[in-house]
A = this chain, B = another copy of it.
């Protein structure tokens, strides 16, 4: 290849690292690591790589390789900061684009230097900001969901009112509420935001209504703007359905300036296997944080999903570990939680958590407001 055609773009030399878990024995895993270096950068056979800048700098580099005790190996592979080009889509692509198609590779952790992090503002609120916004200085936050699908907008608003009267801080749409005829988005937002506002006036509390703005790509911003205008106090979005960068756009939009709640729908496949995909810590911790979520919803251990306690703790780690200037965010465990589980959840998660109980609040008894107050009391007792 003509060396004049290789870019002379000045390179900083700064690299970022991805820790991969690789299945297979030592030799197989080493071959996998070398293959990742090619596949995620130049995507041509080694023999064709031009010398100079491309081979010395662009190509991925195995910085560390270790055989694990459990049969797999780990490899830390570095990539030049320049290939990200300041874009979240391309960062994801370098980390796990083509190699998502190869079995036995799992992204375990990201180590991102300032040069890679700088373009990403991260969450607008973060833990501290959300506490100030909700005026809840130190206790765990309470969250619930409006459901089931099939209720009218009036029915959902009636629930929202009761949740807010009972002292729930964050009253979110179920993620299945989109823009269906039986409870269309605009009517639902108007009525539910109005219901929560009324309850706040009556009770002196400060609950927020968080509508689901997971929507077609050309509609998300419009729905979010409508929600803001009509009194929503936050936005729910499922980045597995919209793309992670759509969440970043909402978070960075100063005209919205609303807390963002990330929902895990459609993302589960990445974490189901220990051999392949993306770790809980990265998928539900580091990535949503980088993409501007203020809270990351995931199914907690002990519910109707299968995450272990250790996996949930790794998510918490991802929400708060050092990540340049990117703020720490709230873990928001849910997925089949109920009031009986609150003490154990508080033991594991501590005070910096948003506890999400949906159906479990309804199942507790006929008086929904009373159930919510019970939820609040459990938190207060534990904290006191």
Binding site for B on A (CB under 8 A): 1-2, 4-9, 35, 39-45, 47-50, 53-54, 57-58, 82-90, 92-94, 96-103, 145, 147-152, 154-155, 158-159, 174-176, 178-183, 214-220, 238, 240-243, 245-246, 248-249, 264-273, 276-278, 299, 304-306, 335, 358-359, 362-363
Contacts and interface: CB of A to CB of B under 8 A. Distances in A.
18 contacts: A2-B158, A5-B151, A5-B155, A7-B151, A7-B155, A45-B363, A47-B363, A53-B150, A54-B150, A83-B149, A87-B178, A92-B266, A101-B335, A103-B306, A217-B220, A269-B270, A269-B277, A272-B276
B100 A158 contact: no
Given A97-B265, A98-B265, A277-B269, A43 B147 contact: yes
For the complex formed by this chain, how many copies does it contain in all?
2
Contacts of A58: 148-150
A149 B273 contact: no
Contact of A7 (B94, B147, B152, B178): B152
Given A94-B176, A269-B270, A215 B83 contact: no
Of A99, A265, A276, which is in contact with the most chain B CB atoms at under 10 Å from its CB? A265
A154 B5 CA distance: 6
A154 B3 CA distance: 12
Given A87-B178, A93-B241, A96-B266, 16 more contacts: A5-B155, A6-B155, A7-B151, A40-B176, A44-B358, A45-B359, A87-B179, A90-B214, A99-B268, A101-B271, A101-B272, A101-B305, A101-B306, A216-B248, A218-B249, A269-B278
Nearest to A94: B176
A118 to B, nearest CB: 14
B306 A152 contact: no
A216 B101 contact: no
B265 A148 contact: no
A370 to B, nearest CB: 16
A335 B90 CA distance: 19
A146 to B, nearest CB: 11
